[in-house]
Amino acid sequence: MNKLIIIGSGPAGLTAAIYASRGELKPLLFAGSKSGGQLMTTTKVENFPGFPKGVLGPKLMVDMITQAKNFGTEILNEDVTKVDFTGTEKKIYVGEKEYSSKAVIIATGASSRKLGIESEAKFWGKGVSTCATCDGAFYRDKIVAVIGGGDSAAEESGFLTKFASKVYLVVRKNVLKASKIMAERVLANPKIEVMYNSEVKSVLGGEVVKGLKIFNSQTNKESELVVDGMFLAIGHIPNTKFLKGQVDIDELGFIKVQEGLHTQTSVDGVFVAGDVHDHRYRQAITAAGMGCMAAIDAERWLNKN
């Protein structure tokens, strides 16, 4: 029987582990087969406090892992396949192997929706990104493309005009799905050019992105678009498949917290942290902050119970 099990090894899960282990909870953390979260696939991170010259994403996560281990966190690089929160003992399964705990923190994050084309993976972190807030400053006076037609795409496009000389908004349909006010802002911005009825067929370049091959469904023609970077803004998928209805989730699939109870889910003793709950900010620092909150909430819950 463990006091606390943490599921997830991004900034939220590892920060929770650091706090919990310093609190003598001796947490067991399931890092997954690919530990470290989304920052393991990024290059330079310049907006995480404490690194005036920036830090490589993988280095930041490896240091967090080391810090958690140094304070006594046990880390297993295993994927949780299902859970059972129906009893007072919370049961966690890796295949047929069962682990039990008094309290659980879910910090499994969310995966960015991708186009699913081969060249997208080739240039991931080399000009292909999902976070304008994180990477926009790297494209000062350059040309970029944002893929998507909803509010997120409109917001990312507007943000990128602070840095980029031009932003192409590549929209699959013949209209923007964004809310009226967001769409109006896009259309009024002289730096943004909307490409309707368009989709990316491939990403072009050598070591880094140099352009996109675009298919226009109205003309049935392909063309090459010269850009220095591509930002995906087609949504996120919360990593909650293994939960199978064990906790309440919202209409977008993200885990709900109980009103006034901060990080407490619908199940007593089960807490949530990071992007698996937060689909508004989606930043490493906000995920880490919520990991701290979840660890403190879990510790207080354990003391009370």
- Listed in sequence order, the DSSP H helices in 37-150 are 57-70, 118-122, 132-135
CB 176 within 8 A of CB 203: no
- Beta carbons within 10 angstroms of residue 246's beta carbon: 21
Name every residue whose Cβ is closer than 8 Å to that of residue 302 and which is 6 or more positions away in sequence.
3, 4, 25, 102, 103
Q: 3-class SS at 300?
A: helix
Identify the H or E element spanning 99: strand 97-106
Among the listed residues 79, 59, 61, the one whose alpha carbon sits nearest the alpha carbon of residue 17: 61
Catalytically active residues, by annotation: 131, 134-135
Between the alpha carbon of residue 283 and those of residues 43, 110, 125, the distances in Å are: 15, 11, 16
Among the listed residues 53, 21, 6, 46, the one whose alpha carbon sits nearest the alpha carbon of residue 283: 46
Q: How far apart are CA 263 and CA 253, in angstroms?
A: 16
Q: Dihedral sign, CA of 187, 193, 196, 199?
A: negative
